[in-house]
Chains A and B, each alone.
Chain A
Amino acid sequence: QSALTQPASVSGSPGQSITISCTGTSSDVGSYNLVSWYQQYPGKAPKLMIYEIIKRSSGVSNRFSGSKSGNTASLTISGLQAEDEADYYCCSYAGSNTWIFGGGTKLTVL
């Protein structure tokens, strides 16, 4: 099991949209619509943002959306705000009751 591939960093200006990709294989992301996304501030526990590719967790802004094509899932944040600056992690079901995380992406709001 190798970690899902995410860009190390992305950046955007307030109001803009950014997309974070999460690339796996046909054994994980490509086989299941079971990708979730987590937001993590420094020194804090991760927070669930998106699950089952496209569903927003309770209380999460509709500026956050998810999608998937083939072996790659994506998280899009529209109308970027300063408070969105954080680390983001994807996670996919990988079969046989195992899960795999991405390496994480640091989002900087310029």
Chain B
Amino acid sequence: QLQLQESGPGLVKPSETLSLTCTVSGDSISGTSYYWGWIRQPPEKGLEWIGSVYYSGSTYYNPSLKSRVTISVDTSTNQISLWLNSVTAADTAVYYCARHDRAADASDIWGQGTMVTVSS
């Protein structure tokens, strides 16, 4: 069945760039029915939508993060990537990737999440 797995450094220094990859297995990410998104959750806080990407490369970002975020898709490797620059302690969070069903307009499959701490 479809699985999503996030990977990347667990520790990033302030002012540097956070970089994560989501590897999708069990199906191709080239389907027209889905967006692929990143959502984060700071410790003991709620969920925040970061942004989404379509298989064609079209991207959509949270306005509050847009100036610092880049999301891309690589259909040859079935991976989605997230870059967040100029990080601060406020960017410390569990980062999830998720499949967003366009018809249902909901994220129906989630990765397990990966914790990223911003600290010197």
- A-side interface residues toward B, CB under 8 Å? 1, 3, 34, 36, 38, 45-48, 51-52, 55, 57, 89, 91, 93, 96-104
Known: A45-B110, A93-B105. A101 touches B52 (CB 8 A): no
Does B111 make an interface contact (CB < 8 A)? Answer: yes
Q: Measured between alpha carbons, how far is A57 from B48 in the docked complex, in Å?
A: 21
Q: Measured between alpha carbons, how far is A34 from B101 in the docked complex, in Å?
A: 12
Min CB–CB distance A53 → chain B (angstroms): 10
Q: Measured between alpha carbons, how far is A36 from B49 in the docked complex, in Å?
A: 13
Residue in contact with A46 in the complex, picked from B63, B101, B110, CB distance below 8 Å: B110
Closest residue of chain B to A47, judged by CB? B110
Q: Given the complex, which residues of B lie within 8 Å of A57, measured CB to CB?
A: 106, 108
Closest residue of chain A to B107, judged by CB? A48
Q: Measured between alpha carbons, how far is A48 from B64 in the docked complex, in Å?
A: 25
- B-side interface residues toward A, CB under 8 Å? 39, 45-49, 52, 60-64, 96, 101, 104-108, 110-113
Q: Measured between alpha carbons, how far is A100 from B113 in the docked complex, in Å?
A: 19
Please tell me if the beta carbons of B108 and A48 are within 8 angstroms of each other in the complex.
yes
Known: A34-B105, A45-B96. A98 touches B46 (CB 8 A): no
Q: Given the complex, which residues of B lie within 8 Å of A101, measured CB to CB?
A: 39, 46-49
Please tell me if the beta carbons of B64 and A1 are within 8 angstroms of each other in the complex.
yes
Q: Measured between alpha carbons, how far is A52 from B61 in the docked complex, in Å?
A: 21
Please tell me if the beta carbons of A89 and B105 are within 8 angstroms of each other in the complex.
no
